[in-house]
Structure 1
Amino acid sequence: MNAPAKTEEFVPTVPAGVFAETVTSVQHYTDRLFRFRMTRPDSFRFRSGEFAMIGLVVDGKPVYRAYSIASPAWDEELEFFSIKVPDGPLTSHLQQIKVGDQVLMRKKPTGTLVLDALTPGKRLYMFSTGTGIAPFASLIRDPETYEKFDEVIVTHTCREVAELKYGFDLIEEINGDEMLSEIVGGKLRHYATVTREDYAFQGRITDLIVNGKMFADLGVPHFDPAVDRAMICGSSAMLKETKALLEQAGLTEGANSKPGEFVIERAFVD
């Protein structure tokens, strides 16, 4: 009698120039937001604040989108904070990942939300909406941020209170880390606002800048190009409006090749 033929296990082919990493944890915050962590290749190097192209094989073809790396450069794993888009080419599949699944990542990170793109200053604003807080999740856990600035203010605006939880979790994580909390000291401030529910701090961040409430709530002076620096990550409308407000205050936009007083991230997920 012939032995039964062995069935070969299907192993997806990983494209050249791409890492295939394993999901180590997944946390769903709302029906629109989740975060996940995955293994980090030994050879993968990035600057806190940069983004990478991550993806999945969908219908036999790899689909990639730009995602800010939410973990700091020193972390042994990689963290990402994502929206859920029901019909999104990538996120409709990415939101279903589980521990042990495989995620693809291209090998070259990039981005403008890095400390090197800013000229020296004293106070650093990080303006974010929604998942735009992800690159700042990386930067506020990087000791270099506190070596370069005396005060770091992270603003996070969402539609609903539940969507702010990731930001509050970050602050709690930092305060609970003995080494990191000592480095951060009292330099980090977190200013969370919502636009569609009752909350202690309400309103679009641009409106709160214009009417002066943000400065009053934080007890800081209005923008001063001599000391203030800023990073912006969020919706296209928010980017445009915040950029205009900073320029009105005399701050100039910077880049990796030419540092300035503020920088913008223009890479989006679907």
Structure 2
Amino acid sequence: MNDVTVAAPAPAGGLKASGAFYVETVTWVQHWTSSLFSFRTTRDPGLRFSSGQFVMVGLQKEDGKPLVRAYSIASPSWHEELEFYSIKVPDGPLTSRLQNIKVGDQVLIGRKPTGTLVLDGLKPGKRLYMLGTGTGLAPWLSLAREPDVYERFETVVVTHTVREVQDLNYADLFAELPKDEILGELIGGKLRYYPTVTREAFRTQGRITNLIASGQMFRDLDLPPFDPAEDRVMMCGGPSVLADLKQQLLDMGYVEGSIASPGDFVLEKAFVET
């Protein structure tokens, strides 16, 4: 399926808010493949969040009740709009409908951002690895554009593991960020993007867990293997790969962190496919 981009000028602020949700207007939709799409909405001035957090996003059902699920915010905390990266589940209660939204439509955005994928959950370190699979790339799209990330770490590595090459959405964004007019000077040579594909031939092929275990990822990036004294890790993606990644880190002596007790790694467990 060819990329389809629809854009329109963003209205000034969101529509009238109600209940537990803001009602926002869709300003841009991008269909990457038959199973992946992104969209942006207006952002109410009252919504405050930290890059890496998620909110509840959805639609209103015919009976007036909200139909929502958790979505990482793919835009950085300073951006005037909200961006989201989603799968399309043919029979999913929400995404089967959400994938049909168009510019000008209204969506529900939760008023209370939350989540564990924030910098304050990590101890200081030298290198930051953000490991994502599928739409688990979304929080890294936010954090990779967050100036504080580059002030805290000397090297920032974003990995994105997908099944097919066509699923490597946003690759152009990571290529362009070091040349960005605003962020480029801050990012410099710190940002490294590491895409991997599991079911097709590609220059970097394999499950991220295997590439870490074999040391191939570190050889490809010309970086030393994980060291709890220097490397911090964030993870977001499918439950099975998260469980395996977490065990790998625990076996290396890593300690899971939280905002209340910062550690060596954090992961997000809030997402289900609907």
Tell me, yes or no, whether TM beats 0.5. yes
| 1-structure distance, mates of 2:191, 2:143 | 11
**Sequence identity (%):** 60
Q: Is 1:75 paired with 2:82?
A: no
Distance apart, 1:169 and its partner CA:
2.7
Q: Is 1:109 paired with 2:101?
A: no
Distance apart, 1:165 and its partner CA:
2.4
| 2-structure distance, mates of 1:14, 1:109 | 16
| 2:141 partner SS | helix
Of residues 152, 164, 169, the one that matches 1:165 is 169
Q: Is 1:155 paired with 2:163?
A: no
Q: What TM-score do you get using the length of structure 1 for normalisation? A: 0.93
Paired residues for 1:1-270 under 5 Å: 15-60=18-63, 61-166=65-170, 168-270=171-273
Across the aligned residues of Structure 1 and Structure 2, the Cα RMSD in angstroms comes to 1.4
Letter in 2 for 1:255: S
Q: Does the aligned pair in 1 maintain the 2:178–2:189 contact within 8 Å?
A: no
| 1-structure distance, mates of 2:247, 2:23 | 40
Distance apart, 1:106 and its partner CA:
1.4
Distance apart, 1:41 and its partner CA:
0.3
Map of 1:5 onto structure 2 = none
| 1:179 partner SS | coil
Q: Does the aligned pair in 1 maintain the 2:178–2:191 contact within 8 Å?
A: no
Runs of 4+ in 1 over 6 A off after TM superposition: none
Q: Does the aligned pair in 2 maintain the 1:67–1:269 contact within 8 Å?
A: no
Distance apart, 1:99 and its partner CA:
0.4
| 1:25 partner SS | strand
- Bigger radius of gyration: 1
Map of 2:5 onto structure 1 = none
| 2-structure distance, mates of 1:16, 1:178 | 39
Q: What TM-score do you get using the length of structure 2 for normalisation? A: 0.91
Letter in 1 for 2:148: E
Letter in 2 for 1:208: L
| 1:254 partner SS | coil
| 2-structure distance, mates of 1:109, 1:54 | 11
Structure 1 gap segments, 5+ residues each? 1-12
Q: Does the aligned pair in 1 maintain the 2:127–2:156 contact within 8 Å?
A: yes
